[in-house]
Amino acid sequence: MIGISKKGSKKEREEWGSRKGFILATVGSAVGLGNVWRFPTVVAENGGGAFVLVYLAMVFLVGIPIMIAELTLGRSGGSNVVRVFRKLAPGSGWWLAGLFPAAASFFILAIYSVVAGWVLVYIFSSLAGLTSGLDAGELSALFSSITGSAAYPLLGQAVFLFITAAIVVVGVRKGIERWGKILMPGIILLLLVFFVRTMFFEGVWSGIVWFLKPDFSAFTYSTALEAVGQVFFSFSLGMGAIMTYGSYLPRESNIPGNSLSISIADVGVALLTGLIVIPSLFVFGLSPETGPGLIFITLPAIFNSIPFGMLWSTVFFLLLAFAALTSAVSLIQVQVAYLTEELGWSKFFAALITALGIYLISIPTALSQGALAGIALAGLNIFDFIDFFASNLLLPLGGLLAVIFTGWVWGVRKAVTEMKTAGNDFKLQGVWSVLVRFLVPLAVAYILISGLVS
Ligand code: PHE
């Protein structure tokens, strides 16, 4: 049942149909390309085990406390990001802190829709048998030729953004909740099969050791910043996405408990993917510096070693595209909620304009592996630059603002009261309060500054 909110917003807002519906949808937002595509790529580029360990530490120190803060802010404000800040700190300039993530989610989508576009192209390439029988070297060449062309990436991205916008227009509940229920178990099941297959490759062990054994000799502040950025990206934090989802949460729901379940699911999928992709780097003799093509090379190589590889490949990329879709929906939802509630636009118009805007600004990103590959910004190509700027700078900044607001402006006491409204207990409220007021902002600010200057 869709309940009706009485939280004072002028328009009646939908709420999640059930606790399970909310969890599945939020897991749908969190689990996506961040886990399956970005996680193994950054682990490989940052030296393996030590990065994984710092990432896990950041999950507990920063990720879970901020997720709790964002969900609580969202539910208490009961509206889009800008209005959450305006409502909880009326008359102050804090509403600007909400404008920031609303605008910044554009940049994340500029990366996200490009990679999702590649995934769409890979569904059809697999189906057409183009990846069948190729070894890792040939798969690497295939990836370069697909992403280096202009037509495929631009078309894939357009289709992806169109579907994302269409789902948002259909509605929060119908659009998102239903997908999560079928998809998440499907993708996890497939990953488990691939994991088992990977474990039987010769030479897999050195890859597992590289993934799990920390070697701190190569560790720097920029690695720590990459780990923090990855947590924000993967948990959908600092972008208003989780906050907007929190605003559809009914009062009875237990925010800390839900945050923990969502985080465990998200980290679980990332680690599982890492345990497949990283060892296969070693098995297939690839360089850890393979970059954004990593999973598009290693995974099809694994599929080719299983009977009916073409089928596995098609189904896997199909499921990955859906996982990317549920994440992108939560991203675009941030802007649509803002445009419909603040500017009074219709949902259809808001989704259309947002998707078009994202498409236009991300054309250079889509072409960055081919026609525009020569353009460098701060030593990075356009794709890597936007990814770095959005994930390692904008997201931590957005998270920092949300957590400072919760800890010092709105106040942890009000936040805890909000969490306990319907008789829910929060055993770790003392720990959480200290984290949110002191440790999280200090850690994020410190890593952000030292990572940028190092
Ligand atoms: N968390 C999503 C993923 O891992 C991406 C995302 C980032 C979604 C930020 C919403 C907001 O794929």
Best CA proximity match to 254, nearest among 418, 417, 424? 424
Which residue owns the Cα nearest ligand 1 atom 9? 236
Q: Is the CB of 29 under 6 A from ligand 1?
A: yes
**Residue 22 Cα, ligand 1 centroid: separation in angstroms?**
16
**Residue 59 Cα, ligand 1 centroid: separation in angstroms?**
15
Q: What is the pLDDT of residue 175?
A: 53
Residues 318-340: pLDDT tens digits? 999 989 998 998 888 888 888 88
**Residue 264 Cα, ligand 1 centroid: separation in angstroms?**
15
Q: Is the CB of 236 under 6 A from ligand 1?
A: yes
**Residue 287 Cα, ligand 1 centroid: separation in angstroms?**
26
- The Cα–Cα gap between 324 and 34 comes to 9
Q: Which atom of ligand 1 is nearest to the CA of 323?
A: 12
Tell me how many degrees the CA angle 443-414-72 measures, rounded to the nearest 5: 65
Residue segments in the chain with a per-residue pLDDT below the cut of 50: 1-11
Do residues 67 and 243 lie in contact, with contact meaning Cβ atoms separated by under 8 Å? no
Q: What is the pLDDT of residue 277?
A: 96
The DSSP symbol for 62 reads I
In this structure, the number of other CB atoms found within 10 A of the CB of residue 137 comes to: 13
Q: List CB contacts of 168: < 8 A, sequence separation 6 or more.
A: 175, 329, 332, 333, 336, 347, 351
Q: What is the pLDDT of residue 10?
A: 40
Where helices occur in 46-94 by DSSP H, the ranges are 49-58, 64-77, 81-88
- The Cα–Cα gap between 351 and 354 comes to 5
Task: Name the residue of 233, 326, 329 whose CB sits within 8 Å of the most ligand 1 atoms, as the mutation to test its pocket.
Answer: 233
Q: List CB contacts of 41: < 8 A, sequence separation 6 or more.
A: 290, 291, 292, 294, 295
